[in-house]
Structure 1
Amino acid sequence: MSAPRSRRAPRALPRLVAAASVAVAALTALTACSQPVPFDPAPDAADPDCAAVVVRLPDEVAGQAERETNAQGTGAWGSPASVLLRCGVEPPGPTTLRCVSVDDVDWIIDESDAPRYRFTTYGRTPAVEVVVDNDVVAGTTVITDLSPAVAAIPAEGGCTDLEELPAEQ
């Protein structure tokens, strides 16, 4: 003969229900924290060259994880976002701002809103703009990490020094 069966729920069931409840609550909290970074797209964000840049963006920039954005031609890293990228901005004209070249990509550096620095590609159309919170990450590390993706836009020119300009006659 078999032993009578108990009609009580197994002891593991309450623990399983509690663990599932905690997992659902944690997932909901994490989802709420990972909202897309809001952006206004740049005027030429729909340019095919911007699409070529965006598909090449790294998963991590200066040690900051990539974030989802809500606009075409954009990228963001960090939580809160400390690196913001917009492709399709107006290419800058001649300027006296400092210019650096990283992996054959020229970047103009606008430090007027320090510690928030704005890096804009020079000699590429459309241009790419990157805003960096320098209190969180180093701008030079950011543009080093992003230059390979930005190089998808062909260079049409680049920065020059005064010494490189032809002498006036």
Structure 2
Amino acid sequence: MRSTTRTPVLAMLAVVPLLAMLAGCAPIVALEPADDAANPTCAEVIVRLPDTVAGLDMRETNAQGTGAWGEPANVLLRCGVAVPNPTASLACVTAPENGIDWLRDDSDAPNYVFTTYGRDPAVQIIIDSNGDPDVDGDEVSGFDALVELAGAVSQIVPERFCVALSDTTTPDEGSEADTE
């Protein structure tokens, strides 16, 4: 009789550490997949995502072609977003370390949206640069995040590049087309 009462107790004791471990897991980050998230090139990006970005641990997401880091998720990645057209309304910045061109949207600062320029499919990275307000020094550097994600994003071959405004041609104001 003693052995039959002990077996369930031992089994329950074995489950307690497992339950404690599962209770400590961060919840899955709910994201919407981009329209072209099923693009095979996005799979090449996703399998190369780093375990940490800007010192933040990777989290599980519920959508194809996505990645998330931090608790709460301070860095979000979506592959397969619409490929942006050339624009003068967003700054186009080139990371000097890896040559990846990004369109930077800071209209919702301190949340910054970076979208690859000249790559198809496009990758979008959203960075909450404030970090956790309860943790000192938990700010996220957009620059660091972009550099650390470059290895994955570089799987998409660039088709176009950013150009400086000084590299563009403008019509000469003094010349007019011959209309005769």
**TM-score bracket for the superposition, by shorter chain length:** 0.7 to 0.9
1:44 paired to 2:36: yes
**CA distance in 1: counterparts of 2:101 and 2:107, whole angstroms:** 19
Residue 143 of structure 1 is matched in structure 2 by 146
Letter in 2 for 1:114: A
- Supply the AA of the counterpart residue of 1:99: C
Unaligned runs of 5+ in 2: 4-9, 132-139, 173-180
Question: Offset of 1:18 from its aligned partner?
Answer: 9.0
Instruction: Report what 1:5 is aligned to.
Output: none
Query: Residues of 2 paired with 1:98 and 1:18: CA distance?
Result: 58
RMSD between aligned residues: 2.1
Aligned residue pairs, count:
157
Matches within 5 A, 1:74-153: 74-96=66-88, 97-102=90-95, 103-136=98-131, 137-153=140-156
Supply the AA of the counterpart residue of 2:117. Y
Q: Residue deviations 1:91-146, cap 9 Å, x none?
A: 11122211211211101110000110000000001100000001120111110111
Residue in 1 that maps onto 2:45: 53
Which ranges of structure 1 fall in alignment gaps of 5 or more residues?
1-7, 10-15
User: Whose Rg is larger?
Assistant: 1
CA drift at 1:58: 0.6
Equivalent position of 1:12 in the other structure: none
Partner of 1:3: none
Q: Which runs of 4+ in 1 moved over 6 A?
A: 16-19
Counterpart amino acid of 2:154? A
For each residue in 1:28-73, what CA deviation from the matched residue of structure 2 results, as whole angstroms up to 9, or x when unmatched?
A: 412xx42221111000001111111111111110000011111111
Letter in 2 for 1:150: V
Q: Percent identity?
A: 51
Q: Match of 2:58, SS?
A: strand
Cα drift, residue 25 of structure 1: 4.0
Question: Shift of residue 22 of structure 1?
Answer: 4.7
Distance of 2:28 and 2:116 partners within structure 1: 25
Distance 2:116 2:12 in 1: 53
Partner-residue secondary structure (3-state), 1:125: coil
1:165 to 157, 168, 172: 168
